[in-house]
Structure 1
Amino acid sequence: MQLIYLINYSVKGIKSLDEDVKLSFYKKTISKNPDMNGYNIKGIYGMNGSGKSGIVTSVKILKNILTDSGYLNNPIIH
């Protein structure tokens, strides 16, 4: 299995995310052999109602779409 790394992420229309939210997970300087351990998200913070849970929910949906081939055809949403 090949490792896949998420570098940019954009989401809109989930929970309170009415406008497009863009996240970038890369460093400005990337060496020839980058250390991918330095790219982990450490935390998401913000005011109440700012969309934190919407971002987390959208990532869960993306994970399910990528890992479960029948996810979009399943009438029972997890």
Structure 2
Amino acid sequence: MSTATYTVVGMTCGHCVSAVTEEVAQVPGVSAVDVDLASGGVTVTSDAPVDETAVRAAVEEAGYEVAGA
């Protein structure tokens, strides 16, 4: 099992959390997504390491940005 943590900027509400969770969960190989609104932290769990570019693209598709991108 592999986990990766990202910081997403711009989330302000529960809808934001849902949008990011939904998009990132669609990335191939992702088995779980945990989003913390307060910190902006997004923890992605998968069986094998997931392509970071795909996770960043999913966050952008939801309308937000990964910090440091």
Q: 1 or 2 for the larger relative contact order (CA 8 Å, sep ≥6)?
A: 2
Q: Which has the higher strand share?
A: 2
Structure-1-length-normalised TM-score: 0.35
TM-score computed with the length of structure 2 as normaliser: 0.38
Larger radius of gyration: 1
